[in-house]
Amino acid sequence: MLKSVAAVETAITDPIDLSALDAIVEPYLGKKEMVIPVLQVIQDHYGYLPRPAIEVVSRLMYIPLSSLYGVATFYSQFKLKPRGRYIIRVCKGTACHIQGSPKIAERIEAILGVQSGETTDDLKFTLEEVACIGACALAPVIMVNDNPHGRLTPDKVKAVLDSYE
């Protein structure tokens, strides 16, 4: 039987809106083999997997919290911390590396004040390094969300970042 989110919300103090979880989880109830899909839908909804949401899923689906965290930490697609509105991916592939991607990454880190894998305090940008973007002809290249920016130089980086307001 479906428990209401309100029934399990009392133990949760984080100010995250959990009202959508009943509808998100309902199609997966009784289907413990659907852990990955339900976590994917939750991450799509919140942008990451907030602990209060995972706690509610654990209770609603009768899956131990440790099992959900086991799945969420095993697969790199899942993020347990809030991410920026703009995800910057710096290509570290051979072509980009040779054309200067390490200097591009250094410039982004200096401008944003974060290292690879971190998110700015205002949740605007998350910086990641990726093995290859697949746009070698544009080397060095970064992606901001789904937008490629190629043939970059350290001097062009600030203008690219400033375009995301």
For the chain, what are the domain ranges? Answer: 5-74, 86-162
Instruction: Give the count of beta carbons closer than 10 Å to the beta carbon of residue 2.
Output: 10
Cα–Cα dist 118/164, whole Å: 18
Q: Mean pLDDT per segment of 10 residues, for the chain of length 165 residues?
A: 40 70 93 95 94 96 96 94 95 97 98 96 96 96 97 97 93
Q: What is the pLDDT of residue 42?
A: 96
Does pTM surpass 0.85?
no
Tokens linked to 88: 């910057």
Q: What is the pLDDT of residue 2?
A: 40
CATH class, domain 86-162, is alpha beta
Cβ neighbours of residue 161 closer than 8 Å, sequence gap 6 or more: 88, 108, 111, 112, 125
Q: What is the pLDDT of residue 165?
A: 81
Among the listed residues 20, 4, 78, the one whose alpha carbon sits nearest the alpha carbon of residue 53:
20
Q: What is the pLDDT of residue 11?
A: 36
